[in-house]
């Protein structure tokens, strides 16, 4: 079964408030079997347009990634991100 991923591209507009999101979202995603593969770090965009920060969370399956994102507790915490950052969130099934 292919793994699932949540891929986030983010530009933080309020760094202090955004830290609350990072602190609160981590245990929720880990509880759903998530593992952070990329979380910020150095990056460049050789083609196209991009936001500033990139996060990739790997899950045991695509369904697990969807369940984590849809978790009501996560959605409540995601409001902090939405209020303090511009973001694009992608759910994707991995290759086998």
Do 93 and 7 contact (CB within 8 A), yes or no? Answer: no
pLDDT at residue 96, as a whole number = 81
Task: Identify the CATH number of the domain in which residue 53 sits.
Answer: 3.30.70.100
Q: What is the pLDDT of residues 9-36, one digit of tens each?
A: 999 999 999 999 999 999 999 999 999 9
Domains contained in the chain, number: 1
Boundaries of domain holding 21: 4-93
Q: What is the pLDDT of residues 33-87, one digit of tens each?
A: 999 999 999 999 999 999 999 999 999 999 999 999 999 999 999 999 999 999 9
Helices 72-84 + 15-31 axis angle, to 10:
160
pTM: 0.93
How far is CA 55 from each of CA 16, 39, 68, 75, 90, rounded to the nearest angstrom? Answer: 18, 4, 15, 17, 10
């Amino acid at each position: 079964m292919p793994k699932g991923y949540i891929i986030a591209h983010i530009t933080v507009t309020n760094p202090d408030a955004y830290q609350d999101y990072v602190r609160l979202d981590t245990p929720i995603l880990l509880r759903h079997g998530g593992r952070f593969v990329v979380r910020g770090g150095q990056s460049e965009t050789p083609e196209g347009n991009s936001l500033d920060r990139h996060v990739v969370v790997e899950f045991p399956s695509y369904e697990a990634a969807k369940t984590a994102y849809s978790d009501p507790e996560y959605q409540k915490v995601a409001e902090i991100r939405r209020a303090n950052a511009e973001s694009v969130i992608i759910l994707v099934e991995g290759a086998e």
